Structure 1
């Protein structure tokens, strides 16, 4: 199989959370560490996190990933994704794009996406009635991804494309935006 890497987006301020969300404790480790651990289980030594807000603190607390600094992180998720893809495009044939705040996504979920990749340019998750990340993008998508700006992330590109593979992944529907979301996950309630 071609060469791939995980690209975890974790640059935002987490303004609705009220503090550095990436380091919020969940089950004995930082929230971001859950995404890194899942990615490392399927792509050891090829896990990268795009960081912006709180980068120094995050780098010292999270293990198992390499870090991509994004100085314009405040301009939105689209720019963070573009920066990550730009940094890795020369080295990898495909990128597994993830969010750092979806702790219910497991290594098995990621492996299921990877298993579906042969024969497709893109494999994405479907949850609720939307297509989203985690998703795998091959080189043919890199130009579109590096053109993203502001808060427009990959979801708009996925929505408009018909030639891709979808995998149902209800676990990706739940993310952590507020302290209440984190508490619900700790209590095992994801609604």
Structure 2
């Protein structure tokens, strides 16, 4: 029996975005990017959020009710958020699902498909795959936690994925990979939503 714990990474300063990316409004109801992305993980039983830059402002304006892990070392790169996430996992955790708070195209259906694959292949890393690229959201069994803890700088979970190609199972990300990294990305997303409604 596996127990998947989810850690969503949202600690960065978003320098390329020229603003607090997590608070960007991404639909007509005024929902912020972080809230929107978290909806894909809403059915996960154990989920926590790593915040760093602008943490208190994000918590207040996004009305975050999840357990929050504070990353005081966020300036030193993405790896520090992963390390904080691993260090705060409960003992019952057998697998860690890592997600990013700006992957706006990830759906609840895709997250469930990842979990189903982890149950079928509990000793494998379960990754999202799109156009030949493999990455997060991804689920890591406990035997890979040590490697995640050894990450440094801006190295993310992709480094571990690339190290173990024989122990990977991939799940197609049907919607494609869409990150909101810049104001242009945001405007393109908003335009696509208008086209969908019309």
1:122 aligns with 2:130: no
Deviations 1:78-120 (A, max 9, x none): 1111111111153411111000001110100100000111223
Q: 2:135, 2:63 → 1: CA distance?
A: 25
Q: Does structure 2 conserve the Cα–Cα contact (< 8 Å) formed by 1:130 and 1:159?
A: no
* Partner Cα distance (1:13, 1:77) in 2: 11
Aligned residues: 187
Distance in 2 of aligned mates of 1:182 and 1:168: 24
Matches within 5 A, 1:4-83: 4-27=4-27, 28-40=30-42, 42-44=43-45, 46-60=46-60, 61-83=62-84
Superposed CA RMSD in Å reads 1.5
1:174 matched to 2:175? The reply is no
TM-score (norm 2): 0.89
CA distance in 2, matches of 1:180, 1:32: 18
Q: Alpha-carbon deviations, 1:134-183, whole Å to 9, x = none?
A: 00111111111111111001112112212121111153521010011011
- Contiguous gaps of at least 5 residues in structure 1: none
Select the structure of larger CA radius of gyration. Answer: 2
Shift of 1:36: 1.5
Q: Report the secondary structure of 2:41's partner residue.
A: helix
